[in-house]
Amino acid sequence: MNPHELLGLDNAAFERVADHLQTRRFEEIKYQFLPDYHRQLERGTVLTGQTAVRGFPKVPRTLMLEGGIARHFEDEIYVEEKLNGYNTRIARIDGVTYGILRSGRICPFTTWYARDRLDLEDIFDAYPEQVLCGEMIGPDNPYTPHSYPGVESLEFRAFDVRHRESGVPMAVTTRRTVLEAHAIPQVEHLATVSPTDGHEIVAKVIEDLDQTGREGIIMKSPCGTKQLKYTTSSANQGDLAFAFSLPFDYGQAFMFRRLIREGFQSVEFDDDAARRERATSLGEAILTSMTDAIEAVDAGERLAEDHAVTAPPAVVDDLLNHLREMGLRLDIVEDVSQVSERHVNFRKIVQSSNDKIDHYLDGAIVKE
């Protein structure tokens, strides 16, 4: 079968995508992937041999809960938790399990985790053409470290099951039943609401999540094809604090989107006192993290993203090589090996913020 037939595209549509595909090898397979969004195909789509793995679709966001829910949904809505980690798809290809990143790259670390730490044989035997979509969460994380109560190192939480080639999702209740039957950990189901008055329940869910520093929610139609996301203020402000701690490495669009979310959320939910409190915490998140960064560079420190991983020595080697091949500059802070395990703390050096802050501290003129 031709690649365009696997993906349900006509030949002309596939040709428009083909020039954007990148080719890599992993273990015994050669594969192509689409690293960026394209009108014809989802970012992260993978092609190898007679198999395709569709990329995970972009989930739209609402800035106003009441209007967004009423406009987007017609039937009951399943509300599940949105977690802060890195998006991965786990697929079986020619009898072998692989962990695929959002970009479409096969990750050696995620692949090892899927094979070694998850019991997936039964579910892939029963559903060989389905893909597990989920979030890798926890502090020992090479991409997005974030602490969760009860997660000591790294854990997987499934949030979707989709057909490998078509990308069609499994219905929500079916998916939750299937995952539970196969003991696959999944995101928490928080509520089931109606589109007419569900925003009141969802607002309370968001308030509870916000108070405990959680990320947010994904709202889904029963069939799973309609999805809508919404994040808490603590997540928005946490993202802004992180971005302004590396102020020249995260784009204006990243920061602006989160400021806009805070503005609309304040209009929908805040009274005057709450708005002043939000403004204060928002300002502190931005200014404090940025001034800390400037003062750190002024003191001779280097700004970086800190990560830790624990895995067999060969897997850690493959991961570090994988990250360097992606163009990242790494500093190894701690490297401890035991018989079958290696623990590494490393830093991803963010060169732009280091260079520009140092440049401006030296008195360079800002061109605006």
Task: Give the residue among 180, 200, 193 at the shortest CA–CA distance from 219.
Answer: 193
Note whether 196 and 72 are same-domain residues: yes
Q: Mean of the pLDDT values across residues 5-20?
A: 87
Extract the tokens encoding 362.
Answer: 């030296």
Residue 123 and residue 42 in contact, taking contact as beta carbons nearer than 8 Å: no
Nearest-5° Cα angle at 15, 9 to 18:
105
Q: Mean of the pLDDT values across residues 241-257?
A: 93
The per-residue pLDDT of the chain, averaged, comes to 95
User: Residue 14: pLDDT band by 50, 70, 90 thresholds?
Assistant: confident
Note whether 282 and 246 are same-domain residues: yes
Residue 45 and residue 33 in contact, taking contact as beta carbons nearer than 8 Å: yes
pLDDT of residue 38: 82
Tell me if 146 is assigned to some domain.
no
Extract the tokens encoding 3.
Answer: 């690649």
Note whether 316 and 336 are same-domain residues: yes
Statement: residue 97 has pLDDT above 80: yes
Rounded Cα–Cα distance for residues 121 and 269 (Å): 46
Tell me if 202 is assigned to some domain.
yes
The helix-helix angle for 272-298 and 351-361 (nearest 10°) equals: 80
End-to-end, the C-alpha distance of the chain in Å comes to 54
Element of type H or E holding 13: helix 11-18
Query: Using one digit for the tens of pLDDT, what is the confidence trace for 145-202?
Result: 999 999 999 999 999 999 999 999 999 999 999 999 999 999 999 999 999 989 999 9
Rounded Cα–Cα distance for residues 140 and 152 (Å): 8
Note whether 280 and 313 are same-domain residues: no
Distances (CA, A) of 62 to 76, 169, 206, 235, 315: 17, 21, 13, 15, 39
Instruction: Decide which of 306 and 13 is more confident.
Output: 306
User: Residue 338: pLDDT band by 50, 70, 90 thresholds?
Assistant: confident
* SS3 state at 338: coil
Statement: residue 4 has pLDDT above 80: no
pLDDT of residue 188: 98
Backbone dihedral angles phi then psi of residue 227, each to the nearest 5 degrees = -135, 150
Residue 52 and residue 164 in contact, taking contact as beta carbons nearer than 8 Å: yes
Note whether 221 and 241 are same-domain residues: no
Tell me if 75 is assigned to some domain.
yes
Tell me if 328 is assigned to some domain.
yes
Statement: residue 298 has pLDDT above 90: yes
User: Residue 39: pLDDT band by 50, 70, 90 thresholds?
Assistant: confident
Domain span at 64: 58-83+188-231
Extract the tokens encoding 70.
Answer: 């009423």
Statement: residue 303 has pLDDT above 80: yes
Residue 210 and residue 233 in contact, taking contact as beta carbons nearer than 8 Å: yes
Task: Give the residue among 139, 155, 157 at the shortest CA–CA distance from 147.
Answer: 139
Tell me if 38 is assigned to some domain.
no
Query: Using one digit for the tens of pLDDT, what is the confidence trace for 21-33?
Result: 999 999 999 999 9
Note whether 214 and 71 are same-domain residues: yes
* CATH number of the domain that residue 222 is part of: 3.30.1490.70
| Count of the separate structural domains present in the chain | 3
User: Residue 310: pLDDT band by 50, 70, 90 thresholds?
Assistant: very high
Among 61-65, 224-228, 235-239, 364-368, the minimum mean pLDDT is found in 364-368
* CATH number of the domain that residue 250 is part of: 1.20.58.2250
User: Residue 5: pLDDT band by 50, 70, 90 thresholds?
Assistant: confident
Residue 118 and residue 90 in contact, taking contact as beta carbons nearer than 8 Å: yes
Rounded Cα–Cα distance for residues 112 and 24 (Å): 18
* SS3 state at 203: helix
Note whether 78 and 194 are same-domain residues: yes
Tell me if 210 is assigned to some domain.
yes
Predicted TM-score (pTM) of the model is 0.94
pLDDT of residue 11: 86
Q: Mean of the pLDDT values across residues 12-28?
A: 91
